[in-house]
Amino acid sequence: MRPAVPDALPEQDAWAGHKQFVTVGDLDIAYVEISGTEPALLLVHGFTDTSRGFSLLAPHLAGRRLIMPDLRGHGASQAGKSWGIADFADDIAGLIQSLRLDRPVVVGHSLGAMVAIALAGRHKDLIGGLVVLAGTLKPDFAPDHPLVAGVQALRDPISPADPFYAWWHACRPGVPPAFLAGLAQDASAMPSARWRAILEEIRRADLTDAARAVRARTLIVAGACDPLFGEVHQQALLRALPEAAFVRAETCGHNPHWEDPALVANAIIEAFEA
């Protein structure tokens, strides 16, 4: 029997205790579920984050069923042996099938946005909508990019107080320190070799063809101050997804769902409940 579904969002220090598990292929995938109306919103986090990454957005989506998994190799999910975008996408497809979700709207952030695009292209019949949040089709990080250099410099055991997090989790003032501390704690549990392996998969990815195969209603949300996937990346997304609605979060960087969760939630609600 599955654990009882919480009817309110867990506090940051209690987040891990609310995770449930489903077996997808040969991996146990962890997720947090909040009960509510259908269709479900399936929220897919970014690189080194976990389901916790949506804990600030979730209250603004109150009343809707939320499924927030940990990607393989992140959080409480098993790691597996490979971490390609297609691996993540197939895991999410398996999760949808295992939980018998009826065409959920898939909301992906950063790496999760790439996974969501791949999912929408590979498994068209499983999803009812797509939200690309701070996403890209082709990251194109140069060897001297701050993310690449910062990840290369990490050494085990990674400290949650490592100065790298000041850059990696940078956002505008007002994001709760307990939330950011929880994210750093979660990310630090990943061995540095896994950070590097997943980042290399991200760097090699090109989702242009997958995006052109998307048939679901799509919303793109971008932070105007995003240091990773700025205007050039957003224009490429719009060319590949010409029917997509577009919302620019003018005061946000790479993490609009942390910096202005009300704006992101309202954009999702308007796009898929109009």
pLDDT tens track of the chain, all 274 residues? 333 334 456 678 888 888 999 999 999 999 999 999 999 999 999 999 999 999 999 999 999 999 999 999 999 999 999 999 999 999 999 999 999 999 999 999 999 999 999 999 999 999 999 999 999 999 989 999 999 999 999 999 999 999 999 999 999 999 999 999 999 999 999 999 999 999 999 999 999 999 999 999 999 999 999 999 999 999 999 999 999 999 999 999 999 999 999 999 999 999 998 6
Q: Decide: helix, strand or coil at residue 189.
A: coil
Q: Please enumerate, as own/partner, the contacts of 20-23 that have beta carbons within 8 Å and a separation of 24 or more.
A: 21/76, 22/95, 22/98, 22/99, 23/98
Residue 46 included in any domain? yes
For residues 119 and 93, is the Cβ–Cβ distance under 8 A?
Answer: yes
Residue 9 included in any domain? no
For residues 103 and 172, is the Cβ–Cβ distance under 8 A?
Answer: no
Residue 36 included in any domain? yes
What's the domain count of the chain?
Answer: 1
Could you tell me the CATH number of the domain that includes residue 165?
3.40.50.1820
Domain around 209: 18-273
Residue 209 included in any domain? yes
Residue 24 included in any domain? yes
Structure pTM?
0.95
